[in-house]
Chains A and B, each alone.
Chain A
Amino acid sequence: MLCYQCGCPLSEHDFCTSCGADVTIYKKIMYTSNMFYNDGLEKAKVRDLTGAVNSLRQSLKLNKNHIEARNLLGLVYFEMGEVVAALSEWVISKNLRPKKNIAGSYINMVQSNASRLETINQTIKKYNQSYYYCTQGSKDLAIIQLKKVLSMNPRFIRAHQLLALLYIDSEQWERARRELKKCLDIDRNNTIALRYLQEVDAVFAKEDASGNRPRAKRDDTVRYQSDNEVIIQPMNVKEPRKGSFASLINIGIGLVIGLAAMYFLVVPSLMADVRGEENQKVLEIGSQLDEKSATIVEMQRQMEALEGEKDKVEQELQGYVGSNGTLETIDNFLDVVSAYLEGGDVVQTGAALEDFAAKVEIDQMSQAVRRLYQAVFAAIGPELGTVYYDAGTQALKDELYGDAIANLEKSVFYDAGNVEALYELGNAYRESGDVEKALEAYQKLLELFPDSNRVKRAQRYVDDLSQD
């Protein structure tokens, strides 16, 4: 206990040892507050909630800072279904003593569960709605609403009381008694409930004395509200019961119809699905088969082509390879070269080289053979060109133009630098009447040998032939 003036702890004396204030009355007030708190606690322990509320309120009127009394009052309110009153007490308590106060736990307990808080709020709203129904005379609706309220919050004392009052008013004594008993189970000394119960008991006692026990007025209807509509359902009307045999027949018919529907609706659909899947698989297999067939045909074609190439190569190889397994053509070429080196005839050597070049492709031969061939060709070329030039000019003089052209062509072939051979070849073509070939020879001369003394004549022939 603290001094009201300076806040120092008080001793057993009737004055404050710190500031000297007289605390006699103050101490008595505090003691009385504690006494009421103790009384309230005792009453709460035996479920005399109304008595506990009265005592605790007295305690708080004497000392508003009695935290235990305020917390206990909140608990009692909560037990009676007065959640808002309980929260109010706990909030005030928490404000008076912010730390080490169990009221904080109580507040968290209520506020942490949002759905529970919403249910509590709905309960209060429905109770208020039923109260307004009562004031407007809609007692049936009020009863229905109060039943809902109590199904959501069975400890709501005021709802029990109001429902009991409505039952008493409608002379439903048994129901009224039941509600009052429930109310007294929560709050044993609830004054209103006790007074109502006394009234109900008096009615029962009166009727017992007359031997006519009051019977609960039976409701012929059940009423409940759905949104804004009141549903009234008659109680005594029952659905006609049919015989069990008829039920069995109906079940049987239902089963038959179900099976028929299954057979005619579901099975065809399943079969169609299965067939569709099979057709899809057949199509896939067919396409794979086509691809593989095409691959086989292509491979057969490649194989045939390879076999043809193989035969050709074998034939070529047979031409190259002699009886003793050596390359006969190369041997012949080497023989020709040996004969030429030993003083052989250039014409024969040239003919042998032409034969060798006709049998093989010089570009495909080995480098050594190609070099040897080119060396021999370069060695005999000018001499052989001269031989063919002489023969060609002689044939031209003899007006044997075919021989002249053949020999001069060879002369130009073997000795490309022989301008006279090229000039005479043009003359041979011109004399034989082959203007196109003659022009070609002259133009080649003009192109390759622009400084030659044959240029003027060649140019004149070109001009003449071009004009013709």
Chain B
Amino acid sequence: MINFEEELKKFHPSPEVEEAVDTIYNQDLTDMADLLVKLIKDSQQQEQE
């Protein structure tokens, strides 16, 4: 049986148009390729040391 209170917790307010800028700035754009490049560079640095 569905519990209304529990289900309601899964909903959240929708960002308004005025908040679009904040939404864009707060978005984490780090992807797997970035992580890979970082790992490779770190390993290269360790090798050099």
- Among the interface residues B4, B14, B31, which one has the most CB atoms of the partner chain A within 10 A? B14
Is B33's CB under 8 angstroms from A4's CB? yes
Is A85's CB under 8 angstroms from B8's CB? no
A125, CB-defined interface residue at 8 Å? yes
In Å, the complex CA distance between A135 and B34 comes to: 40
> Mask for A115-131, Cβ within 8 A of B = 1, else 0?
00100110011011001
- Chain B residue at smallest Cβ distance from A156: B14
Partner of B17, one of A63, A84, A158: A84
- Among the interface residues A120, A124, A127, which one has the most CB atoms of the partner chain B within 10 A? A124
Is A4's CB under 8 angstroms from B11's CB? no
Chain A contacts for B29, CB-based, 8 A: 64, 92
Partner of A29, one of B4, B14, B15, B36: B36
Q: B2 → chain A, closest Cβ, in Å? A: 5
Instruction: Indicate whether A82 sits within 8 Å of B14 (C-beta atoms), given known contacts A61-B31, A62-B32.
Output: yes
Q: A362 → chain B, closest Cβ, in Å? A: 113
Is A62's CB under 8 angstroms from B31's CB? yes
- Chain B residue at smallest Cβ distance from A121: B17
> Mask for A154-178, Cβ within 8 A of B = 1, else 0?
0000100110010011000000000
Is B15's CB under 8 angstroms from A169's CB? no
In Å, the complex CA distance between A428 and B8 comes to: 150
Instruction: Indicate whether A161 sits within 8 Å of B11 (C-beta atoms), given known contacts A62-B32, A83-B17.
Output: yes
Chain B contacts for A161, CB-based, 8 A: 11
Instruction: Indicate whether A84 sits within 8 Å of B36 (C-beta atoms), given known contacts A64-B29, A168-B2.
Output: no
Chain B contacts for A162, CB-based, 8 A: 11
Is B32's CB under 8 angstroms from A199's CB? no
If over half of B's interface residues share one DSSP class (helix, strand or loop), that class is named, otherwise mixed; here it is: helix
> Mask for B18-43, Cβ within 8 A of A = 1, else 0?
11100110010111111011001000
- Chain A residue at smallest Cβ distance from B39: A25
Is B23's CB under 8 angstroms from A124's CB? no
Q: How many residues of B contact A (CB 8 A)?
A: 28
Is B23's CB under 8 angstroms from A84's CB? yes
A438, CB-defined interface residue at 8 Å? no
In Å, the complex CA distance between A29 and B35 comes to: 11
In Å, the complex CA distance between A60 and B31 comes to: 7
- Among the interface residues B1, B12, B16, which one has the most CB atoms of the partner chain A within 10 A? B16
Is B16's CB under 8 angstroms from A124's CB? yes
Is B14's CB under 8 angstroms from A128's CB? yes
- Interface residues in A139-167 (C-beta closer than 8 Å to B): 158, 161-162, 165
Chain B contacts for A62, CB-based, 8 A: 31-33
B→A interface (CB under 8 Å):
1-2, 4, 7-8, 10-20, 23-24, 27, 29-34, 36-37, 40
Q: What are 24 of the A-B contact pairs (CB < 8 Å)?
A: A26-B33, A60-B31, A61-B32, A64-B29, A64-B31, A64-B33, A65-B31, A84-B14, A84-B20, A85-B23, A88-B23, A120-B17, A121-B17, A121-B18, A124-B15, A124-B17, A125-B16, A128-B16, A162-B11, A165-B4, A165-B7, A165-B8, A168-B2, A199-B1
Q: A128-B16, A165-B8 given. 17 additional CB < 8 A pairs?
A: A26-B37, A64-B29, A64-B30, A64-B34, A65-B33, A84-B16, A85-B23, A91-B24, A121-B17, A124-B17, A128-B14, A158-B11, A161-B11, A165-B2, A168-B2, A168-B4, A199-B1
